[in-house]
Amino acid sequence: MRIAVLGNGIVGNTIGTKLCELGHDVMMGSRSATNEKALKWKSTAGARADVGDFGAAAAFAEIVFNCTAGTGSMEALSMAGEQALDGKILVDVSNPLDFSKGFPPYLTVCNTDSLGEQIQRTFPSVKVVKTLNTVNTFIMVNPSLIAGEHDMFLCGNDEKAKAQVEEILRGWFGWTQVLDLGDITNARAMEMILPIWVRLYGKLGTPNFNIHVVK
Amino acid sequence: MRIAVLGNGIVGNTIGTKLCELGHDVMMGSRSATNEKALKWKSTAGARADVGDFGAAAAFAEIVFNCTAGTGSMEALSMAGEQALDGKILVDVSNPLDFSKGFPPYLTVCNTDSLGEQIQRTFPSVKVVKTLNTVNTFIMVNPSLIAGEHDMFLCGNDEKAKAQVEEILRGWFGWTQVLDLGDITNARAMEMILPIWVRLYGKLGTPNFNIHVVK
């Protein structure tokens, strides 16, 4: 499958590399097609890895992963352009965290709205599926790094898109427990997990943890 | 011990009854000393149960539980009065949830502030300890209702007060896993768990669940 990974940070690197390993053709999208971090990733990720600007990556892809920093996601997706994204699944793993005032970060949007919803409203023809934002990127693509049962949440407006993303989570990444919360408005609840996540990160001294819903 | 339970709803009822069963003298505080719901609770909770207005309950108590609805907590505590609360531990189990626009509810304060912090700022001499707000009231006083491991969070500015509340959680209510997140600013993270909690409640069809942090 042809997949775009928007963003050249640790999340884009990790997901991009994993998708290449799984045999997919991956284009990492950046502001510039000659972004040094993206080119460095391409040099290590094998023959299936390529780079381009946001628009080229989105146009190339059948499925798009938004791995940009949440505070830059709207701009990155605008640069990708509605036409290149039209009708495609956008797996939104980002969080609208503002680290400019130090740790712990704040959410730039929450409670009555979310980044996932903002993206869906701005690009109504895109099938936004929010998921993976509640764990560290190494856990995203390798949930077995955590011993025992733990859960991944997912939400979005398009049932077929959610089913396909759930299959990616289970079949490609190895998630065994995926909870579909409903439509994209549930992204606010998923993004509002981050305030406790960042504090647990500080307390536990490792980003390699997740939550398990226990009945 | 003499304990005040502010609030005569299901949370105040459940915690009040549990504390009476444990052999403590409990005064349920309401707007009025003749509140019908409070008097009904008194008639069923045994000889150690009494009722009063918010001020009488707070003045009577060595420890105060804030079990009022979050949207009414500041008013209730103001009615109790700073003098009656002075120097005491206030166990704040409330959540600032606004149900007026339907389900799921919104938080009336979050992200850069919290109800726990508002209470601490307004009553600086009170030792506010935020805890128990992330589970249903039946789980609060009986965590063994949930099979397997699951976690309770706690935060506050006063270390001795937190130690005493942790002993209440463990020794009186039976919690085995208590995570101290730090000072009262962490109340925002604990209260921001509620958006996912209310959605999981809707999805799971039961309020008897909790989260477990898994490494």
Please state the ipTM of this predicted complex.
Answer: 0.96
Looking at residue B94, what is its pLDDT? 98
Q: In the predicted model, what is the mean pLDDT of residues B98-103?
A: 94
Binned at pLDDT 50, 70 and 90, residue B107 comes out as very high
**Is there a contact between B116 and B191 (Cβ–Cβ < 8 Å)?**
yes
Token pair 């304990």: residue: B3
Looking at residue A47, what is its pLDDT? 96
Could you tell me which chain B residue has the CA closest to the CA of A206?
B215
B→A interface, C-beta within 8 Å: 104, 106-107, 110-112, 146-150, 153, 179, 181-182, 186, 188-190, 192-193, 195-196, 198-200, 203-204, 206, 208-215
Looking at residue A95, what is its pLDDT? 98
Contacts of B210 in chain A (CB under 8 A): 213-214
Measure B173 CA to nearest chain A CA, in Å. 18
Binned at pLDDT 50, 70 and 90, residue B1 comes out as very high
Could you tell me which chain A residue has the CA closest to the CA of B109?
A111
Hey, what are B106's tokens? 């919104």
Q: What is the full per-residue pLDDT of chain A (215 aa) written as tens digits?
A: 999 999 999 999 999 999 999 999 999 999 999 999 999 999 999 999 999 999 999 999 999 999 999 999 999 999 999 999 999 999 999 999 999 999 999 999 999 999 999 999 999 999 999 999 999 999 999 999 999 999 999 999 999 999 999 999 999 999 999 999 999 999 999 999 999 999 999 999 999 999 999 99
What dihedral angle (degrees, nearest 10) is formed by the CA atoms of B101, B102, B103, B106?
20
Q: How do B2-6 and B63-66 pair as beta strands? A: parallel
Portion of chain B with pLDDT greater than 90, in percent: 100
Q: How do A127-131 and A89-92 pair as beta strands? A: parallel
pLDDT tens digits along A39-62: 999 999 999 999 999 999 999 999
* Domains of chain B, residue spans: 2-204
What's the CA gap between B2 and B44, in Å, rounded? 19
What's A103's DSSP letter? S
Contacts of B188 in chain A (CB under 8 A): 195
**Is there a contact between A89 and A63 (Cβ–Cβ < 8 Å)?**
yes
Give chain B's mean pLDDT. 98
Contacts of A206 in chain B (CB under 8 A): 215
CATH class of B2-204: alpha beta
Amino acid at A56: A
pLDDT tens digits along B19-75: 999 999 999 999 999 999 999 999 999 999 999 999 999 999 999 999 999 999 999
